[in-house]
Structure 1
Amino acid sequence: MAAALPNDRLGFLLSFRGELTGARIRAALGVAGLHPRSVMTLMQLASGATSQRDLAAAMEIDPSQLVAILNELEGQGLAERRRDPADRRRHIVEITETGAAALERVDTAVNAAERELFGGLTDAEQALLRSLLDRVVVDPTGHDCGAE
C-alpha cells in the first residue's frame, strides 16, 4: 500500500497552510509590534470597557494568561485597568486612544494580508471556508468534540 501524499492528507494540508497563513498574519501584526494574543485582546476591547473576568471568558483563556497580556498592553499604553468603583475587587479594562490607533494600523495590514491570502476565493467560498473551519474541532484531550 502506497503512503498518501501530504496534499491527500487533510490534516497535513491544513497544518501546512495554517503555518503559512499564521506567518503572514504575524507579519501583518508586526506593523504595531504586537503579538496575536495582544491584538485579540485589543479587538475584544474595541467594543467597549469590560471586566477583566469577562474579557478572559470571552477570549477563552486562563485569567493568569490575561494578566500577562494586560501587563504588556498597559506597559505600552495600549490598554488600561482600573478598579470598579462599585466593586473594588473587580478590574475594568479598556482600550486607550493609542491602543485604538495601533488596532487601526493592524486592521489595515491584516486586511491586506487577507486579500493576498484569500483573493483567489469568492465571497461565497470564503464564507464556506469559514463555516467549514468552524466545524473543525481540536481538543487536546483527545475527546471527540465533533460528535453530535
Structure 2
Amino acid sequence: MARRPGGTAPATSTPVSSPGDDACESAGPESRLSLLLARHGGVTEAWIREALTASGVTPRHAIVLMHLDGGQLGQRDLGARLSVDPSVLVALLNALEDRDLVRRRRDPADRRRHIVEITEAGAAAVTKLDAAIGRVEDELFADLNPQERDTLHSLLARVRTAHGGACDAAPSTDC
C-alpha cells in the first residue's frame, strides 16, 4: 500500500500489487482472497488506530459511540449489535463513561435493564471520529470511483465473518 502523505505506512504493511501486476494474481498468498482481505484489514486497522489516536479512543470505542449516536439502546441490545461478550461491553462502557462520552441508567419500566445513551461530549466526539475515519477511507479508496466503492461496500456486507450461527446450510444457499 502506498505511503500516506504526511504519515508513514505501518511497519507491518507490505506493498500491494498494482492493477497491472499479473504475477501476484496467479500465485502466492495474494491469490487467496481471504489472505488479501486480512492484509488489507490489518493495514486499514492500523491507519484507523493512528487517525483516532488524537481523540484518545480505540476503534472499538468509536464503534460503540457510532452505534449510540443513532439513539439510546439497551445494554444487552448494544452488546448483541457489537457481537461482544457482556464483560467486554462493560469494560468498553466503563472507559467511555469515565470520559463522560456515554451514560448508563436503569430503565424506569424495567429496573433490571440498563439503557445506554451518548452524552453531548460523546456526540461531539463522534463528529470528530467520523471525520477522521472519512479521511482514512478517502485515502484508502482514492483509486476507486464512487460506484466501485458502493460495489465493494455491498460485497463486503455479504461476506460471512461469523462461525456457525443460525445458518448451517451449505454456503451456496441463502440463510
TM-score range, shorter chain: 0.7 to 0.9
Instruction: Name the counterpart of 1:65.
Output: 88
| Residue in 1 that maps onto 2:42 | 19
Closer, same or farther: CA 9–46 of 1 in aligned 2, 3 Å = same
| Alpha-carbon distance in structure 1 between the residues aligned to 2:124 and 2:133 | 14
Other structure's SS at 2:53 match: helix
Structure 1 length-normalised TM: 0.88
Q: What residue in structure 2 maps to residue 99 of structure 1?
A: 122
Query: CA–CA distance in 2 between the matches of 1:125 and 1:5?
Result: 26
Question: Among 35, 41, 48, which residue is 2:71 paired with?
Answer: 48
| Aligned residue-pair number | 145
Alignment partner of 1:137: what SS? coil
Find the partner of 1:7 among 14, 25, 30: 30
**Which secondary structure does the structure 1 equivalent of 2:38 belong to?**
helix
TM-score by length of 2: 0.75
Identify which of 142, 148, 152 aligns with 1:129.
Answer: 152
| Structure 2 gap segments, 5+ residues each | 1-25
Q: CA RMSD in A?
A: 1.9
Compute the displacement of 1:5 (Å): 2.0
Per the alignment, residue 85 of structure 1 pairs with 108
User: For residues 33 and 73 of structure 2, what CA distance do their matches in structure 1 show?
Assistant: 39
Distance 1:145 1:54 in 2: 29
SS at match of 1:81: strand
Distance 2:170 2:106 in 1: 38
Mark the runs of 5 or more structure 1 residues left unpaired by the alignment: none
Q: Cα deviations across residues 30-65 of structure 1 (Å, max 9, x unaligned)?
A: 231111111111011101112111111222222222
Tell me what 1:76 maps to.
99
The answer to which structure, 1 or 2, has the higher relative contact order (CA under 8 A, 6+ apart) is: 1
Displacement over 6 Å in runs of 4+: none
Contact 1:135 1:146 in 2 (8 A): no
Identical-pair percentage: 49
Return the structure number with greater helix share.
1
Relative to 1, partners in 2 of residues 1:103 and 1:137: Cα closer, same or farther, differing over 3 Å? Answer: same
Question: Post-superposition shift, 1:124?
Answer: 0.8
Structure 1 contact 136–146 (Cα < 8 Å) conserved: no
Amino acid paired to 1:146: P
